[in-house]
Amino acid sequence: MGKSLKLAIAAVGLLTISATASAAFNTGPCKACHAVGHDVVGPDWARVAKAYGSADALAKVFKDGFKVEDRKIASSEPKFKAQAAIMTGQYNSLIKGHEDDAAKALFDAVKAGKI
């Protein structure tokens, strides 16, 4: 295989990785427990957005490890505090490593009125 072809293949691979890394956070799995406009298993995302005020503030909580005592709604409402372990698991599998994108996706969903 020629050097030019190898470089072209490598470039396509890097572009693919870059496109994947910059893709929007998928909120699909979040729908199992959250909605915009009403509480489900987890709190209404509009309430979450209001409690944090900005995607940056929510992302900081994610980046700091998403401790229950840092969660503004789960730490103060027993019905959500009881579900905190479920959300911690989801955080570890879906959000960790994507904190900024996940926080932005939540605020974008609230703005759009749906997940």
Instruction: State which fold the 25-112 domain adopts.
Output: Cytochrome Bc1 Complex; Chain D, domain 2 (1.10.760)
What are the backbone angles phi and psi of residue 109, rounded to the nearest 5°?
-65, -40
List CB contacts of 30: < 8 A, sequence separation 6 or more.
Answer: 90, 94, 106, 115
Question: How does DSSP assign 27-83, residue by residue?
Answer: -GGGGGT--SSS-SSS--HHHHHHHH-SHHHHHHHHHTT--GGG-TTTTT-HHHHTT
Q: At residue 85, does pLDDT exceed 50?
A: yes
Task: Kindly report whether the global pTM for this prediction surpasses the value 0.85.
Answer: no
Q: At residue 110, does pLDDT exceed 60?
A: yes
Q: At residue 9, does pLDDT exceed 50?
A: no
Q: Tell me, what's the pLDDT at 54?
A: 98
Q: Name the band, by pLDDT with cuts 50, 70 and 90, for residue 14.
A: very low
CB-based contact 93:99 (threshold 8 Å): no
Q: At residue 44, does pLDDT exceed 80?
A: yes
Q: At residue 8, does pLDDT exceed 90?
A: no
Share of the chain above pLDDT 90, in %: 78
* DSSP-assigned letter for residue 1: -
Average pLDDT over residues 89-107: 96
Hunting for tokens 């050097």 — which residue is that? Answer: 3
> ∠ CA(19), CA(24), CA(27), 5° rounding?
145
Per domain, the residue ranges of the chain are 25-112
Hunting for tokens 């890097």 — which residue is that? Answer: 14
